[in-house]
Amino acid sequence: MAQQVRGVIAPGKDQPVRVETIVVPDPRPGEAVVRVQACGVCHTDLHYKQGGISDDFPFLLGHEAAGVVESVGEGVTDVAPGDFVILNWRAVCGHCRACLRGRPWYCFDTHNAEQKMTLLDGTELSPALGIGAFAEKTLVAAGQCTKVDPSVSPQVAGLLGCGVMAGIGAAINTGNVGRGDTVAVIGCGGVGDAAIAGSRLAGAARIIAVDIDDRKLEKARAMGATHTVNSRGTDPVEAIRELTGGFGADVVIEAVGRPETYKQAFYARDLAGTVVLVGVPTPEMKLELPLLDVFGRGGALKSSWYGDCLPSRDFPMLIDLHLQGRLDLGAFVTETIALDEVEKAFERMHEGDVLRSVVVF
Ligand code: APR
Ligand code: ZN
Ligand code: ZN
């Protein structure tokens, strides 16, 4: 029997979001229905609402979520009703070229539920990132559910499902930050702060936070930055070089997604260092660099998609580290809100004092 629950939809381009009744079908083979306990508000949800991702309105928003599996379709064995899970948007297929080469974090054929959730009149919903978790219950592919230690609080756990994982993974998976490295992080929102926390976890010797907002820099320090640079008044490339013995950082993580900050990252690293782009640019942005500098400075210019994470490997490990007190995921939760406050949370995103608003059910 399909169920009716409340969920937040984006009805059309730039229209305010609203709470509607959502019809959630019973899971078929390969699918699971999850009772959502918490779901963070991410910039990507706002981009969906603004029409910046696709025109497949109406969207069922929300994708940084944790909850309890309620039912599974026939043949599903990896998760069972009652399991506490974090939802992911990288349910790897195991069969594509990337998976077969042993690089499943690049999987080209990730799974989502095949059935559609709908409105009461039958209108099909497009779930954000194949999840749609600003809803009391949601239908996903079983592989999108990653079991973690249930003693963690859901509002903290859900954050690993997207932005915080992207930032931590940019440092530890894509950037390969290791013990003793110098790291600079440009842009200290939720993603940049997570890159800072990940760098600390990996044993970086020096972590330089760069932002144009002093409030962000203060928070970055709490997350593990050893030095801060406000690039509104100071040249960040010079400042990072000065703080690294004149060399530049081993790894520079760009967590804004703009050509000018990418250039800063490019020049702020040491020779043969690594640049990681985790900020997401818009289609019209262009980058111009002297090709000789690209050659002459060597090293690696990488992009990090979802922190190059493998949910089955990374989520349980990071939750365990959090439960041991070695990774403060709670610091990313600025406020908890109700389902009908998502629109307000979008407005607060621009004020700059929120890392994450989290809807709790
Ligand atoms: N130089 C330095 N910092 C900047 C600059 C700049 N020119 N412009 C903006 N910032 C800072 C902001 O002050 C803010 O602290 O970058 C940070 C961006 O943070 P958020 O807007 O909170 O975004 P976040 O959720 O962290 O995501 C960052 O990663 O996943 C992507 O789509 C996401 O592109 C976005 C990026
Ligand atoms: Zn695959
Ligand atoms: Zn997200």
- pLDDT tens column, 12-65: 999 999 999 999 999 999 999 999 999 999 999 999 999 999 999 999 999 999
Mutual orientation of helices 214-223 and 190-201 as an angle, nearest 10°? 30
**Average pLDDT in the chain:** 97
* C-alpha 245 to ligand 3 mean position (Å): 36
Number of the ligand 1 atom closest to the C-alpha atom of 187: 16
pLDDT at 1 over 90: no
Q: Is there a contact between 117 and 125 (Cβ–Cβ < 8 Å)?
A: yes
Closest C-alpha to 35, from 3, 1, 75, 73: 3
* C-alpha 43 to ligand 3 mean position (Å): 6
Token code pair at residue 2? 């399909």
Closest ligand relative to 280 C-alpha: 1
Residue with CA nearest ligand 1 atom 25: 190
Confidence of residue 212 (pLDDT cuts 50, 70, 90): very high
Closest C-alpha to 132, from 22, 29, 54: 22
Closest ligand relative to 211 C-alpha: 1
> What pTM was estimated for this model as a whole?
0.96
- Looking at residue 172, what DSSP letter applies? I
Residues with CB under 6 A from ligand 1: 43, 163, 166, 186-192, 210-213, 216, 231, 255-257, 261, 278-280
Residues 221-239: pLDDT tens digits? 999 999 999 999 999 999 9
276-300 average pLDDT score: 96
* C-alpha 96 to ligand 2 mean position (Å): 4
Q: What pLDDT score does 298 carry?
A: 96
pLDDT at 352 over 90: no
Q: What pLDDT score does 77 carry?
A: 96
By residue count, the chain amounts to: 361
**Beta strand segments in the chain, E:** 3-10, 18-24, 31-40, 59-60, 64-72, 84-87, 118-119, 126-127, 137-141, 145-147, 182-186, 206-211, 227-230, 249-254, 269-277, 300-303, 333-337, 356-360
* C-alpha 48 to ligand 3 mean position (Å): 11
* C-alpha 188 to ligand 1 mean position (Å): 6
